[in-house]
Structure 1
Amino acid sequence: MSGYPAGRMGISPRVKSAALWGLVGLLSVLVLVQSYALLATPLLPITGALGLGLVVGIVAGIGAYVLEPRLAAWAADRRTE
């Protein structure tokens, strides 16, 4: 078991990282949609923006979960060269 507090609660650091990246994706889309609505006419109603944000957040979370070990291995290989 890792020394991270999340590891004691049953959440692995990899899952926690992916969930946080998903949250970043969700909030980024909502900020962009709201910013565009303030500067011009609204693109989407709030429900559409939430739906789009959820889709982007889920894709970002899954992408982070899948790609994190590959990127870590790639970075470790670059360090040894």
Structure 2
Amino acid sequence: MPSPISLRPRVKSALLWGAVGFMAFLVLVQGYALVVEPLVSITQGAGIALLVAAGTAAGAYVLEHRIAAWSAQRAVSETNSHNDAD
């Protein structure tokens, strides 16, 4: 039985964030169309959503590990500052 395609966690996370960006953009365009008027056609909206997805995925891939490292460093420094206050 062939094994499913295995992606590195960082790539999988970036692709999932891209999917979130894709769907969020489509929801916003649809909401605007319901309230005011359509800004773009369905085809144009899907094309722009693909660009948003690519940008979101690229941003997540580039920034995610940096944000995680910053967050971990901040948590350690806050823990140390709380321990020093005792």
* 4+ long deviations beyond 3 Å: none
Question: Share of identical aligned residues, percent?
Answer: 51
Give the total of aligned pairs: 74
- Residue 57 of structure 1 corresponds to 53
1:20-64 deviations in Å (ceiling 9; x for gaps): 000000000101111111111100001110111011110000000
- 2:65 is aligned, of 62, 69, 79, to 69
1:42 aligns to 2:38 (yes or no): yes
TM-score (norm 1): 0.86
Structure 2 counterparts to residues 13-52 of structure 1, below 5 A: 13-52=9-48
The CA distance in 2 between the partners of 1:79 and 1:29, in whole Å, is 33
Larger Rg: 2
What is the alpha-carbon distance in structure 2 between the residues aligned to residue 78 and residue 38 of structure 1? Answer: 43
Q: What are the ranges of 5 or more consecutive residues in structure 2 without an aligned counterpart?
A: 78-86
- Backbone CA RMSD of aligned residues: 1.2
